[in-house]
Structure 1
Amino acid sequence: MARNVLESSLLGAGFSIIFQILCRILTFGINAYIVRHVGREVLGIMNVRLLLLESTLLFLSREAINRAALSANAQQGDRCSWAQLINQMWLTVPICAVLCGPCLYIWLNWLSSVDAIYASQYEFACYAVALSCVLELVAESAVFVAQVFCFVKLKILLNTLHILVRSAIFLWIVTGDRSAAINAFAIAQLSSAVTIVLGQYGFFYFYLKGFKNFVTQQTRKKPLTPKAWQISLYEHMDDFPFKHLNDFLPGVMFNPNGKYFNRELQTLTLSFVKQGVLKQILTEGEKYVMSVSPVLSFGEQATYDVVNNLGSMAARFIFRPIEDSSYFYFTQTLSRDIKLAKQPQERVRQASSVLNNLLLGVSSIGLIAFTFGQSYSYPVLLLYGGPDFVAGGLPQSLLQWHCLAIYLLAVNGISEGYMFATNTSRDIDKYNYLMAIFSISFLVLSYILTGIFGPVGFIFANCINMMSRILYSTYYIRHQYRPLSLDPLLGLWPGKLFGGTLFLAGIVCYWYQSSSLVTHLGVGVLAGLACLLSWALAHRDLVRLAWRYGRRIKIE
């Protein structure tokens, strides 16, 4: 199955951005409906407490295994080791099942209690979310294979389908009975997990069946023996190692090494496990603090979560797909255990150029979000939640400061993702100690700054944490490329033309914020177009490169 890793990564990022924007618009619409008609407290229970349970179980169960398996697949040459990779991916199911026990006990007994009116629904939802995580990981081996062999459209289609199913079932139940919103959330989570499992294995069933039918048609004139038929099937399927659907199950594929697991893969996985726990604390730290200690009420948690989701739209829609695709690209292009000077220089230069362009793109998006967020936070929140939601000024202040976190989040995602993709197991273990320091510092800062500044303190703590991680990852990148006289970190500087235009646009938009809403929005649109035009003029080579890749993908 011939594939170009760079083009597949770009295609995957592009489709992810487009489809996630469409699907997340639906999700944000549902949240707006809950804020206006159901109540903030219910939204806080669902979006903070229950989604934190889902995030914790899925992240701790599969993140380390998936990252290690991607790296091992990029560097192994024996296709029969796919048996070990599949066995490795199936470990996520029992791991998640084991983690469900302590997590459910903590969520039901240790965390701050919910109101009595929601207690029974909350308990049912916790069990439903845990079961949905186990069900979703049943399809993890198929998800991994689809990722490695660049089934980009399959990933986007199934992600879209599971979000639509979850949203449709939730709305269907909650419109009939608003008091059952938490139960509706739980049932929707279970339904979406079943959709993922059926979709993944259903696709590969018909995919493998299509190959068999093709070979049968080709050999109809000359009947083949079973052995010859199998050889012909291998030839037409090229390097795709799966011939039957049960090959996706653990222990089914033939492994000439006779070992169920790979020791080096296990070592790398353990390194990522340590890192994954710390990264989860850094990613969801504010939610853990809110859940463990009574710093904020569920209503305040919901306000923070709504603002955080609105402020993180760029991260969810743009940055996360780019980070996932770039991590996949760097793991498949560069080797972890070999210095860059000893690797093929064409690949190294291409990786440096890609990293430079990625940093340039995401940092420019982050600067735009920070500039326009200062003037347009209030109208966005007013349109989203209504006058009652923006009363008091807290949501506006939260979103304005969150726009600074967006820029730091953009830079940190790419720089740290590159570092994780190219670090050796020893380097990962060393960084785990720093991650432990970052995690503890973040939790302590969150608690202290929240006591001083309120919910805004979470954003301050997050910004300090991300700045520290950016400094370390950029130092690593500079040190790695300095012997080759390459500096991909130049992408962090967007250029004088774009920077100057952005500065003027921010002043103009701030000046007009006391005008009517229509005038203010019109000025923002014109200023935004001016910023985009200045960026395109300042980076014409990158625009032409993106246009060329876009045309190639469209033609193919």
Structure 2
Amino acid sequence: MKRNILKSSVQHAYFSIIFQILCRIITFGINAFIVRSVGREVLGIMNVRLLLLESTLLFLSREAISRAVLSVSTQHKGRCNWPQIINQVWLTVPICFILSIPCLYIWLAILSPVEDSLWEQYKFGCYSMAISCIVELFAEAPVFVAKVFCFVKLKIAMDTLHIFIRSIVFLTIVFHDKEICIYAFAIAQFCSASFIVVGFYSSMHYYIKNEQANNLDNGDKKRRNLSDFESFPFKNIIEMIPGYLPNDEKKFNTELQVLTLSFVKQGVFKQILTEGEKYVMSISPVLSFSEQATYDVVNNLGSLAARFIFRPIEDSSYFYFTQTISRDLSLIRQDKEKVNETGFVLKTLFMIITSVGIIIFVFGQYYSGIALYLYGGADFVSDGLSEKLLRWHCLAILFLAVNGISEAFMFATNSSIEIDKYNVYMAGFSIVFLLSSYLLTNMLGPVGFIVANCANMFCRICYSVRYINKKFEPVSIRPFDGFYPGKMFSCSLIVAVVICFMFQVSHTTNILLNLFVGACCFIICLFSWTLENKTLIKTLLNKYAEKRELQRRMSMTTETKDNHHTKVE
């Protein structure tokens, strides 16, 4: 039960990346099937309009509460006021129900209309998505407990099964009748949400019963292990229901409520900035559903790195920073070893994500058309719009890479006052982003969304950089030293640009040759980066080896003690 925060954060990122790859493969396969056999308009309704409703309800219902209670859990879990935390987490359910009423009215009565032939399916889909969100939040308590106690594999397993069940239900219905694609999408979403609830509570019930049985069956060993089990505050899954655990204090923590309200304001702005282009698409008739589907497909393909690598690292980094750095203390007054480790981790993260972002930007300029051709066929790339969109997305990924990590640290270490201060800036960013998205889209088409997003992220990065430099200045740590690429890596990228350009000009139609040349250039760039950062890689490998050796020694010590007790008995 003892947590290793850094190890758990890294492990979570590792498993999340694997999960995201698996998830994207399934989703891409389904989207390709819909594009080729059903039509882009249906895909636009599902992936833009209905998923935007789900994203809005879930994000606004739980994001602020989740961030606030996770910050409270920076204390040792045995000393947390779990009754107050459980009560706070369960507020997500009534909040989602209340939010679903105006959201359903907006989605059904105000947003740009859907064709009459798809209206009944669309209406059913909206109601189903709202109900699915409410059902999914019934599992928020065990989900939060699993996150705090570092049940990494459980979380990833549940997310993976969630995707599989949704995909299987959807494909089963669609293969039977392609005309009810939106019905199938809505039903599949409800089934997967129900599974999340059953799966998490069942897993927690099994864990608690298994620990109790082990402690009872081990005789004298029970006394040695009981202290570990007592650190887990729940003896029954019923205790994860609000109001069940005894509590001598108030039902809700006042400081936690204040922090939650700060995150609520921040969450609204962040949701607008994250899904702003979809809101603009839905509110105004800038793009048809078919064009929205094209933008969404290209956006998903262009965001592969963000979903596979950057988002899991960002989530794990946020968790790591919340558990190692206190919000209300200057770094110079905190544990020096933790502060130095945090600075090293942040510098390393900047080095890695910046390098990945630059590689994606460079190679994306030459292989966007090939990737889209292989995905959607010749018709999908015939107008040139999708290729142009993907190239611009590669630039946005570079901004996204830096913005994600810098904001993860900032949000994890901000005090309530600093969060409120940043909310003012977020309000300005949100307004400017929405206005620029609308104006640039009318001028540049769908590319306008990406240009506006790049400008918005650049402003947010500038604010985060200023905050991080100011935060680390008293301890003389410079995390942004890892921001700039090395000379060898930069030279290899320039060589790759020249080679790829020459081969694409001289062998335009030879896809296999261009892919082979690109793969060779990528390997050269990767090899040069490895050589340039061999000290870092060696340090990480040594730390991993030290941890493995320490675990081995602890395991041998525990085994020796067990053998000694057995002989005494």
Give the structure-2-normalised TM-score: 0.94
Specify the code of the residue in structure 1 equivalent to 2:116.
A
Measure the CA separation in 1 of the matches of 2:24 and 2:522. 22
Q: CA deviation at 1:549?
A: 5.5
Say whether the 8 Å CA contact 1:80–1:256 is kept in structure 2: no
Query: Aligned Cα RMSD in Å?
Result: 1.7
Structure 1: gaps spanning 5 or more residues: 223-228
What is residue 537 of structure 1 aligned with on the other side? 531
Measure the CA separation in 1 of the matches of 2:541 and 2:16. 18
What is residue 563 of structure 2 aligned with on the other side? none
- Among 518, 523, 530, the alignment partner of 1:524 is 518
What is residue 34 of structure 2 aligned with on the other side? 34
- Among 245, 250, 258, the alignment partner of 2:237 is 245
1:321-400 map, 5 Å: 321-400=312-391
What is residue 225 of structure 1 aligned with on the other side? none
Specify the code of the residue in structure 2 equivalent to 1:237.
F
Structure 2: gaps spanning 5 or more residues: 552-569
Say whether the 8 Å CA contact 2:11–2:152 is kept in structure 1: yes
Say whether the 8 Å CA contact 1:75–1:335 is kept in structure 2: no
Q: CA deviation at 1:443?
A: 0.2
Report the CA distance shift for 1:495/1:21 in structure 2 as closer, same or farther (over 3 A): same
What is residue 123 of structure 2 aligned with on the other side? 123
* Correspondence 1:318 to 2:312: no
What is residue 493 of structure 2 aligned with on the other side? 502
Measure the CA separation in 1 of the matches of 2:100 and 2:76. 33
Q: CA deviation at 1:547?
A: 3.2
**SS of match in other structure, 2:244:** coil
Query: Which range moved further: 18-27 or 44-53?
Result: 18-27
Q: CA deviation at 1:238?
A: 3.9
Measure the CA separation in 1 of the matches of 2:174 and 2:515. 34
Measure the CA separation in 1 of the matches of 2:226 and 2:246. 15
1:92-171 map, 5 Å: 92-171=92-171
Say whether the 8 Å CA contact 2:310–2:353 is kept in structure 1: yes
1:177-326 map, 5 Å: 177-219=177-219, 234-257=226-249, 259-326=250-317
Report the CA distance shift for 1:523/1:552 in structure 2 as closer, same or farther (over 3 A): farther
Measure the CA separation in 1 of the matches of 2:243 and 2:291. 49
Q: CA deviation at 1:77?
A: 7.2
Measure the CA separation in 1 of the matches of 2:60 and 2:535. 41
Specify the code of the residue in structure 2 equivalent to 1:210.
N
Measure the CA separation in 1 of the matches of 2:108 and 2:190. 19
Measure the CA separation in 2 of the matches of 1:76 and 1:287. 41
Q: CA deviation at 1:491?
A: 1.5
Say whether the 8 Å CA contact 2:215–2:225 is kept in structure 1: yes
Deviations 1:497-547 (A, max 9, x none): 111111221221122124211110000100010111011111112222443
Q: CA deviation at 1:175?
A: 1.2
* Correspondence 1:58 to 2:58: yes
Say whether the 8 Å CA contact 1:334–1:422 is kept in structure 2: yes
Specify the code of the residue in structure 2 equivalent to 1:252.
Y
- Among 417, 420, 423, the alignment partner of 1:429 is 420
Measure the CA separation in 1 of the matches of 2:546 and 2:339. 23
What is residue 409 of structure 2 aligned with on the other side? 418
Report the CA distance shift for 1:78/1:167 in structure 2 as closer, same or farther (over 3 A): closer
Measure the CA separation in 2 of the matches of 1:77 and 1:135. 27
Say whether the 8 Å CA contact 2:350–2:402 is kept in structure 1: yes
What is residue 408 of structure 1 aligned with on the other side? 399
Measure the CA separation in 2 of the matches of 1:396 and 1:243. 55
- Among 457, 462, 467, the alignment partner of 1:476 is 467
The size of the alignment, in residue pairs, is: 547
Q: CA deviation at 1:481?
A: 1.1
Q: CA deviation at 1:216?
A: 2.1
Report the CA distance shift for 1:33/1:65 in structure 2 as closer, same or farther (over 3 A): same
Say whether the 8 Å CA contact 2:73–2:80 is kept in structure 1: no
Specify the code of the residue in structure 1 equivalent to 2:403.
N
Measure the CA separation in 2 of the matches of 1:249 and 1:233. 27
Measure the CA separation in 2 of the matches of 1:56 and 1:41. 21
Deviations 1:393-444 (A, max 9, x none): 0000000011000010010000011001000000000000000000000000
What is residue 175 of structure 2 aligned with on the other side? 175
Measure the CA separation in 2 of the matches of 1:37 and 1:256. 61
Measure the CA separation in 1 of the matches of 2:296 and 2:77. 45
Report the CA distance shift for 1:526/1:232 in structure 2 as closer, same or farther (over 3 A): closer
Deviations 1:356-385 (A, max 9, x none): 001111111110110000000000000000
Measure the CA separation in 2 of the matches of 1:77 and 1:161. 28
Report the CA distance shift for 1:551/1:32 in structure 2 as closer, same or farther (over 3 A): farther
Specify the code of the residue in structure 2 equivalent to 1:172.
T
Report the CA distance shift for 1:19/1:162 in structure 2 as closer, same or farther (over 3 A): same
Measure the CA separation in 2 of the matches of 1:251 and 1:188. 33
What is residue 73 of structure 2 aligned with on the other side? 73
Measure the CA separation in 2 of the matches of 1:272 and 1:393. 41
Deviations 1:452-511 (A, max 9, x none): 000000000000000000001001111111222110011211211111111221221122
Say whether the 8 Å CA contact 1:412–1:466 is kept in structure 2: yes
Say whether the 8 Å CA contact 2:441–2:447 is kept in structure 1: yes
Percent identity, please: 58
Report the CA distance shift for 1:403/1:234 in structure 2 as closer, same or farther (over 3 A): same
Report the CA distance shift for 1:303/1:122 in structure 2 as closer, same or farther (over 3 A): same
Report the CA distance shift for 1:318/1:287 in structure 2 as closer, same or farther (over 3 A): same
What is residue 564 of structure 2 aligned with on the other side? none
**SS of match in other structure, 1:512:** helix
